[in-house]
Structure 1
Amino acid sequence: MNRNQTALKPREWMPRTTAAFCAGALAAGMLAVWPQTAEAADSIGKTTAARTKEEIVEKWMQSYLPMKRSFAYMSGNDIYEQLPSLTAPFQEGKLQAEYIEDGVRATNFVRYLAGVPDDVQPDWSLHRQQQSASLINALNDRLSHSPTKPAGMEEEAYKLGYAGAGSSNLYMGSPTLYSSVLGYMSDSDPSNIDRVGHRRWILNPAMTRTMFGYVRAAETSGYGSPYSSMYVFDKGRAAGSVEYDYIGWPAAGYFPSEAFSPSDAWSVSLNTDRYDKNNTDSITVTVTRQSDGRQWTLDKSDTDKSGEYFRVDKGGYGGIPVCIIFRPGGISDIKEDDRFHVRIDGIRSKAGAETSIEYDTVFFRMTEMKRFGSDAIAITPGESVPLRLYSTGEGAVAGRMAGQLESSDPSIASVDSSGVLRGVKAGAAYIRYSNYLGQENSLYVTVRPAAPGDAPSGWAKEAYAKAKGAGLIPYSLDTQYQTPIRRIDFVRMLVGVYENTTGSSLPADRKPFQDTSDSNVSKAVSAGLISGVSPTEFAPLAKITRQEAAALLTRLESKLASVAGKPPGSAAPTGPFADDEAIASWAKADVYRSVGLGLMQGVGQNRFNPMGNLTVEQSIQIFQRTFERFVRD
């Protein structure tokens, strides 16, 4: 992890320190009523495997939503009932109860996903202790479970914070308590993957109580990093009251991909009342991805903490002394309904018999996530553009939580709930689409006055507005609409149409031309969409001819049809143009096909003008037509 987002695990088990603080006043009238649920005997795996997507989404929405969309809601001082003081004699401060309850909701959410009892309550008697732990780390501006005493701090306050730091998960840089819990559950950076201790403490079956602290360090360069703490050493549940064979993360059955990154390690903690905790050297894990049959076999030889990894940890984190940790290598993305079969061999029962564990995990998205068609857009004051937002490919789940559009500065650029972007005054702002789990996509908006006379022609305005909102017009091309378009700019638009239509990015791994290294040219070459004027030259600054454009468009249409699983479009019969002889033999079929498909038109008087140039606005209209063949409103 980088410095702005770091987590540490607690020291070895130590007795809980009770703060010299009466929590009654804090809790009165503010204590949330948390769901009281516990899994039946030996049912954790069966329970999670039996859940539906809809059931998980409904449970999350009813019981465990964060306070707000995005994770920016703890950035101000209004989160405190009493502000912390970072100057001697120091004050730990007091968080508003609703923010602590937000962290508890996150705790119970991940416990619910894992199948352990999701009934953890806030222990208000520990509020001063946890605030003091966060305060000491913020004053020292570093994470430590054994922090040094800040100069000028009273001994009693230091001892209280020291006890909290040693019995807690600690985080630096996470913006909210909810997000810090999700960060603890990842636990897969090189300094934590060998034991995933944060995760195991949170999933401790015996836990019934927790508490959080949150203090921002002194600002440097306008920013003070938040330091949070989460008390995890609770063992309030009676021993043996939760019956289980193992606790997996991610769990068996449907599992939300928002809670698990492709680079996260998997873990299976074994109940040592049922499994041998000593004879673990022969354990291996086989993971099979159903979509393509790819298989990973992991064992103790896999030691790359930044890649493919395996380890059996016996550190006892979370009260469970044996945890099998494994990470298949080379998984860059988790798709909707990706199913992974896990088989763990070499385990021995308490009686010594060799046995195995098998289960399936199927990933899905709980939240709707959409993206913009481009990274940046330019508009003029008073201009309105209907933005097209693209699905990121999730399947339909009834009740999935929708995201939200908002502007970073509505006085410059505003956006309504339907996605209509409006320029207000000159300046710059971000339009963000965010969901409840801190995930967001953004569009950089520049509002600038239009140069006199610099506007699309009347006949092109409708296609221009649609193409602009769909992200098909590169930022640099949104000007001088009547000028001829260059080959490189035509290709940039072509790639934008392909990627926004298919929802996937093209690789940019081929660079055959000596006169350009533009990534869009590389993408188009890799996809077989373009060729150069010679094997080593592309002529990026040359004006594209109409017959060259026709060839590229028909190639694009065929590629898009293939990706969509459809045959190439049926072109209407088209009679010969009067200037048919001027059309190059290599382009003739493409010219008539592009016209028959309605992608291009003649220039009048039954002429095509194959060597003529296309203007920027003509190209915009052509690409909008191509886009609409495959993407409908």
Structure 2
Amino acid sequence: MKRKLILLSFITALLVSFVLTINPWQATAASSGTDSGLPVRTAQEVAAQWKKLMKTTADYSHPFITEPAISKPYTPGSLRADYIQDGVNAVNFYRFLSGLPDDVASTAALNLQAQYGSVLLASFGRLSHHPSPQPADMPKDFYDKGYKSTSQANIYSSYGFDDHIAARSIDAYMEDSDTDNLDLVGHRRWILNPPLKNVGIGLAVGVEDWKYSALQVFDKSRTEKIDYEYIAYPAQGAFPIEVFKSGYAWSVSINPEKYAKPALKQVNVSVKRIRDNKTWNLSSKNNQVTEKGAYFNVDNNYYGTGPAIIFRPDGVDEYRAGDRFEVTVSGLKSMGGTDKTISYTVDFMSAEKYAPSANEQASDTVTHFTDISKSWAKTSIEWAVSKQIVSDVDGPFNPTNSVTEAEFLKMFISAFGGEVAPAKTGENWSVRYYDYASENGYNLQGSQDSSARTKPISRLSVAEIITSAAGLPNSGDSAIQYLLDNGYSKGKTSATVVGYEGAAGLSRAEAVQFIKNLTELNYST
């Protein structure tokens, strides 16, 4: 088997910075790392999407409706819809893993464009984004269409590869870790480009059974704008070992609207494997491209959207299911010049062999909430309903609204087994929860000032509730430090008291996720 792919080697005026601001894909990972602004996937979700999107259905040995002609008279041919959809599904799986909108679709126009590019490459006999000169017997119109395709696409070729080329080419683009592509991981960054909405997939067979494929991916037609801080790969949360092997590069693409252009000699990355505390510290000293060694780079070209920090730990034989890695990227600056640090945790798991743990049992609960279908926290809200932490109602949950102290207190006590007497007739529902909190020594502003009960709770108050409920008399910075020391929070911008941002508030969705994370980290009162 021989496989080869070549990265786009130029930047055009098409590659511009995109302004990124609004819902419905706004989300957070506030309690388990620096907030990426994107959903954090659970093992249950990853396993479900693996079965849904990565199990190809098309007969890959017969991909064409009409076979292309790679010599005179040239014809682009056409692929079967189910064959194309398998490739599109792979694109959407990788976007889902990274917390991006996973509703990318192919269009007839882009599929045809990709066919012209694939035929040109098959006729040319090798990969090039700029195949030249024009084949003598190829009509100029056909050549121009093919050239337009290859110059605006990820391109791929393989020999003796008896598998689904369209789907497997997406895997290769996401790997992007050979010596030709390691410094940029540009194919990956195009697929994980937030504004991407439409793609086209083409395929043609050249001489000696070489197969050539083009993925039209230079698209920015998404109408909704995506608010995010960074896009990590592998992503924060559960991540399948099936798609990330030893020697693959890690990458973090930062939002150019929120971060200043990073400098190679100022940025550093720390990667810590929790099972043995082995830590890799990577910097500009590791900027030499090698096949397997430690590597680090900062690329400020706009492959997709924004700069990328690219790194690879050395000596990793394999990524195992159950492995947890903590990643910290330091030396970044905000657009205003303040220091910024990114930290997140990757939990490797097997999508193929996934079996839910006691804390991850799939919920059959169908909620009546009318406004969570597109929320990043949908699964967590459904989990909270199934655990009777949140009362299901036939109406809105209001996931983006601020959570009040009383609402957070109710969720918290319900999650950790507190027995609260029902309110008396005419009595506010929250009174008995505050009685329980007082009896158990909770540090609550609302215990001294009843007006605080209906006001948005601060992240500091959340830390004080969690700490005092554990029987510790901590308040203020010491309460925050307790959360950081025990891994219950990685902070909002960094794993420090300042980076925790105690004065900031929490949305209702964030409150549910915070509590769910505590249960999964075996916190107890």
- TM-score range relative to shorter protein: 0.5 to 0.7
Q: How far 1:93 moved relative to its partner? A: 0.8
1:251-262 matches, within 5 Å, as: 251-262=235-246
CA contact (8 A) 2:106 2:198 kept: yes
Distance in 2 (alpha carbons) for counterparts of 1:171 and 1:399? 40
* Residue 178 of structure 2: aligned partner: 189
Check 1:123–1:399 CA distance in 2 against 1; reply closer, same or farther (3 A cut). farther
CA contact (8 A) 2:53 2:86 kept: no
Secondary structure at 1:110 match in 2: helix
1:93-492 matches, within 5 Å, as: 93-148=77-132, 149-173=134-158, 175=163, 176-219=165-208, 224-238=209-223, 241-277=225-261, 279=263, 281-305=265-289, 306=291, 307-320=293-306, 322-368=307-353
Q: How far 1:151 moved relative to its partner? A: 2.7
* Residue 8 of structure 2: aligned partner: 9
Distance in 2 (alpha carbons) for counterparts of 1:81 and 1:218? 20
> Structure 1: any 5+ residue segments left out of the alignment?
17-36, 369-393, 401-633
Check 1:118–1:333 CA distance in 2 against 1; reply closer, same or farther (3 A cut). same
Distance in 2 (alpha carbons) for counterparts of 1:243 and 1:46? 6
CA contact (8 A) 1:275 1:348 kept: yes
Distance in 2 (alpha carbons) for counterparts of 1:14 and 1:166? 13
Q: How far 1:128 moved relative to its partner? A: 2.1
Q: How far 1:262 moved relative to its partner? A: 1.6
Check 1:255–1:167 CA distance in 2 against 1; reply closer, same or farther (3 A cut). same
CA contact (8 A) 2:5 2:157 kept: yes
Distance in 2 (alpha carbons) for counterparts of 1:12 and 1:46? 27
1:576-591 matches, within 5 Å, as: none
Name the aligned partner's letter for residue 367 of structure 1. Answer: E
CA contact (8 A) 1:123 1:210 kept: yes
Name the aligned partner's letter for residue 26 of structure 2. Answer: A
Secondary structure at 1:12 match in 2: coil
1:509-528 matches, within 5 Å, as: none
1:42-81 matches, within 5 Å, as: 45=36, 48-49=39-40, 51-67=41-57, 73-74=59-60, 76=61, 78-81=62-65
CA contact (8 A) 1:212 1:231 kept: yes
Distance in 1 (alpha carbons) for counterparts of 2:145 and 2:14? 13
CA contact (8 A) 2:26 2:37 kept: no
CA contact (8 A) 1:10 1:166 kept: no
Secondary structure at 2:304 match in 1: helix
Distance in 2 (alpha carbons) for counterparts of 1:279 and 1:185? 24
Q: How far 1:120 moved relative to its partner? A: 0.8
Q: How far 1:7 moved relative to its partner? A: 3.5
Q: For the aligned residues, what is the CA RMSD?
A: 2.4
Q: Is residue 2:26 matched to residue 1:40? A: yes
Distance in 1 (alpha carbons) for counterparts of 2:272 and 2:37? 20
Q: How far 1:134 moved relative to its partner? A: 0.6
Q: How far 1:242 moved relative to its partner? A: 0.2
Distance in 2 (alpha carbons) for counterparts of 1:97 and 1:302? 44
Distance in 2 (alpha carbons) for counterparts of 1:298 and 1:117? 31
Distance in 1 (alpha carbons) for counterparts of 2:196 and 2:215? 12
Secondary structure at 1:319 match in 2: coil
CA contact (8 A) 1:38 1:119 kept: no
Distance in 2 (alpha carbons) for counterparts of 1:278 and 1:52? 31
CA contact (8 A) 1:48 1:253 kept: no
CA contact (8 A) 1:10 1:170 kept: no
Check 1:395–1:120 CA distance in 2 against 1; reply closer, same or farther (3 A cut). closer
* Residue 476 of structure 2: aligned partner: none
Name the aligned partner's letter for residue 228 of structure 1. Answer: S
Q: How far 1:46 moved relative to its partner? A: 6.1
Name the aligned partner's letter for residue 326 of structure 1. Answer: F
Secondary structure at 2:259 match in 1: coil
Check 1:250–1:38 CA distance in 2 against 1; reply closer, same or farther (3 A cut). farther
* Residue 442 of structure 2: aligned partner: none
Name the aligned partner's letter for residue 54 of structure 1. Answer: Q
Secondary structure at 2:6 match in 1: strand
Post-superposition Cα deviations, 1:120-163, rounded to whole Å, max 9, x if no partner, equal 11121122211110111111210000012223110000000000
Q: How far 1:48 moved relative to its partner? A: 4.1
% identical aligned pairs = 35
Q: How far 1:335 moved relative to its partner? A: 1.1
Distance in 1 (alpha carbons) for counterparts of 2:105 and 2:24? 13
Name the aligned partner's letter for residue 240 of structure 2. Answer: P
CA contact (8 A) 2:37 2:230 kept: no
Secondary structure at 1:318 match in 2: coil
Distance in 2 (alpha carbons) for counterparts of 1:325 and 1:282? 14
CA contact (8 A) 2:263 2:298 kept: no
Post-superposition Cα deviations, 1:430-488, rounded to whole Å, max 9, x if no partner, equal xxxxxxxxxxxxxxxxxxxxxxxxxxxxxxxxxxxxxxxxxxxxxxxxxxxxxxxxxxx
Name the aligned partner's letter for residue 59 of structure 1. Answer: Q
Distance in 1 (alpha carbons) for counterparts of 2:111 and 2:39? 33
Q: How far 1:13 moved relative to its partner? A: 3.4
Secondary structure at 1:179 match in 2: helix
* Residue 76 of structure 2: aligned partner: 92
Secondary structure at 1:235 match in 2: coil
Name the aligned partner's letter for residue 57 of structure 2. Answer: M
Q: How far 1:10 moved relative to its partner? A: 6.2
Name the aligned partner's letter for residue 6 of structure 2. Answer: A
Q: How far 1:340 moved relative to its partner? A: 0.5
* Residue 409 of structure 2: aligned partner: none
Name the aligned partner's letter for residue 226 of structure 2. Answer: V
Post-superposition Cα deviations, 1:345-369, rounded to whole Å, max 9, x if no partner, equal 111111111121111001111114x
CA contact (8 A) 2:37 2:227 kept: no
Name the aligned partner's letter for residue 166 of structure 2. Answer: L
CA contact (8 A) 1:308 1:329 kept: yes
CA contact (8 A) 1:84 1:94 kept: yes
CA contact (8 A) 2:238 2:349 kept: yes
Check 1:242–1:325 CA distance in 2 against 1; reply closer, same or farther (3 A cut). same
Q: Greater CA deviation, 3-12 or 328-337?
A: 3-12
Secondary structure at 1:45 match in 2: coil
CA contact (8 A) 1:8 1:143 kept: no
Distance in 1 (alpha carbons) for counterparts of 2:104 and 2:212? 22
Q: How far 1:303 moved relative to its partner? A: 2.2
Distance in 2 (alpha carbons) for counterparts of 1:319 and 1:333? 30
Distance in 2 (alpha carbons) for counterparts of 1:15 and 1:278? 22
CA contact (8 A) 2:28 2:39 kept: no
Q: How far 1:15 moved relative to its partner? A: 6.1
TM-score (norm 2): 0.61
CA contact (8 A) 1:108 1:118 kept: yes
